[in-house]
Amino acid sequence: MKRVLGLCVLSIALACLGAAAEEPILGGTLRMGVVQDVSTFDPHVYAGAVYCQVQMNVYDQLIGVATNGDFAPQLALSWETEDSQVYVLHLRNGVRFSNGNDFTSADVVYSFERILNPEIAASRREAMSQIEKVEAVDSLTVKITLKQPNALFLGTLALYGCTMVDKEWAEAGGDFTREMMGTGPFMLSTYEKGVRYSFVRNPNYWESGKPYLDGYTVVFIQNATARMNALRNKEADFVDFVPWQEMSALRYQGFTITPSLSTAMFVRLNTTRPPLDNKLVRQALNYAIDRELLNFLAWGGFGEPLKAGLIPEGTSYYSEDLERWEYDPGKAITLLAEAGYKPEDISLVLESMDWVGHSDSATIIQEQLSSLGIRVKLTIQPIPLIAEKRQTGDYLMLIDGQKPTSPDPDFYTNWFHSSLGGQYAVGTGFSLPELDRLLEEGRTVSDPAEREAIYRAVETLLLDEAPWIFLQYRPDGEATANSVKGYVGLPGVLALYNQAYLENVWLSK
């Protein structure tokens, strides 16, 4: 019932949108300038932010996200479950891959098999390991049985990496790492790794009338100045990762900025190493940081300082009464005294990668803690080492910026669950059995009021335990020329997918 209602709302909204906006024009090639290349074309391996432009526009998933953040049908038209353990999905009819092969349930079964194959190193293998079996009921119906009930399973299917591929093409020897064969709006045309990719319209695309564009090109421009200049000089219609310093200037020059606050900045603390093994010390560190000043100095004031945990303000799971991180050096010193320390007794090592986005904030934090009397040594490390330390936990303090994996507060599991938290807890040995229990419970419950209560408890625990110094959401953004229409900024952490929907983009004259 909720599903049908959702679809009605979606279609009415889309109709209104269509009536109010200008008429899309067919044709044209969108030129995009982006920072970093993907290391492989494999649709099941997320290997860089450009995955959204590349893989997500050539391939489709069963379920996607709509502009308001709800689920949107892609290759699955409808779905139902009775017990949150067995899911039945009804596939869209008449879908073909760009080589003409039909898309059927056999492809769905094969795609899940591929994701679960350890050799592929798929990004969603761990997430999909909760699947017991995937069966093709008939050519357009698939039944997925989980090992245990999970109310969030559909949300996981909508995350990147759950891509549908062509079984026939794969078994005939298709190389996923160097070639692409999907049901999506575009096809790969020519490419030179690290330089330029060209995509053209897929004539077999299932959504009639789309894509509007004849194609698009992706050019890699690592240097931020060169990238912004390309936009200014009309060599590119779209650029990503706009430095905050350029946002006002670009707006003034008439370009459209799509801002996003989807990357959280925080300092990881190793709770097994003294003096950070005492939670009072960790709380003290949180009160010793002036987040407003940090946001202003490092991000021009364009970011959003955190007042509590990572759940964004304005969302239904946010609790105002949990807000607490005011800049309070007095309280910090009191907490330290309770733990038995004077600020001068404490000597810390803060590690950061050698990119100004992190190292600037790290320097400011070092300064703020030093002003209290705490000695902080700042160590700058190369990027591959930081990527490794994220998992091995080999640090005392590490400043980091990562996106929550989903809009649902279940994203805390990825960091803080003692065995499922591969991005933080597993490496550093952080373990809170009560938190584990709450996070696991949150996955089995679907009633919104119950879930809000559960995640309220989660945040209460986390804020008290303070395994991190919670800093802020940092400003990122894309910039587009005025001729680019239909490019939508998705809300919150979904902004990651902004560039995955190029079938909605068109170029005005």
Residues interacting with other proteins, by CB under 8 A?
A: 36-40, 45-49, 51, 118-123, 125-126, 177-178, 192-195, 219-223, 225-226, 229-230, 232-233, 235, 353, 382-388, 391, 402-403, 405, 414, 422-423, 426
Nearer to other proteins, 136 or 219 (CB): 219
Distance, in Å, from the CA atom of 308 to the CA atom of 455, rounded to the nearest integer, reads 13
Nearer to other proteins, 48 or 373 (CB): 48
DSSP single-letter state for residue 139: T
Determine how β-strand 29-34 pairs with β-strand 71-73: unpaired
CB of 196 to other proteins, least distance (A): 9
Give the DSSP per-residue string, 339-406: HT--GGG-EEEEEEESSHHHHHHHHHHHHHHHTTT-EEEEEEE-HHHHHHHHHH---SEEEEEE--SS
CB of 179 to other proteins, least distance (A): 12
CB of 422 to other proteins, least distance (A): 5
CB of 427 to other proteins, least distance (A): 8
Token look-up 């990572």 returns 310
Report residue 300 as tokens. 């021009």
Nearer to other proteins, 38 or 490 (CB): 38
CB of 281 to other proteins, least distance (A): 28
Distance, in Å, from the CA atom of 356 to the CA atom of 426, rounded to the nearest integer, reads 28
Report residue 211 as tokens. 């894509």
Give the DSSP per-residue string, 57-123: HHSEESEEE-TTSSEEESSEEEEEESSSSEEEEEEPTT-B-TTSPBP-HHHHHHHHHHHH-GGG--T
3-state secondary structure 180-217: CCCCCCEEEEEEECCCEEEEEECCCCCCCCCCCCCEEE
CB of 338 to other proteins, least distance (A): 36
Nearer to other proteins, 208 or 233 (CB): 233
Token look-up 């005392």 returns 396
CB of 81 to other proteins, least distance (A): 26
Count of CB atoms situated within 10 Å of the CB of 248 = 12
Nearer to other proteins, 108 or 128 (CB): 128
Nearer to other proteins, 120 or 378 (CB): 120
Phi-psi label, residue 334: left if phi above 0, alpha if psi -120 to 50, beta otherwise: alpha
Nearer to other proteins, 39 or 78 (CB): 39
CB of 222 to other proteins, least distance (A): 7
Nearer to other proteins, 129 or 145 (CB): 129
Q: Which residues contact 18 (CB under 8 A, 6 or more apart)?
A: none
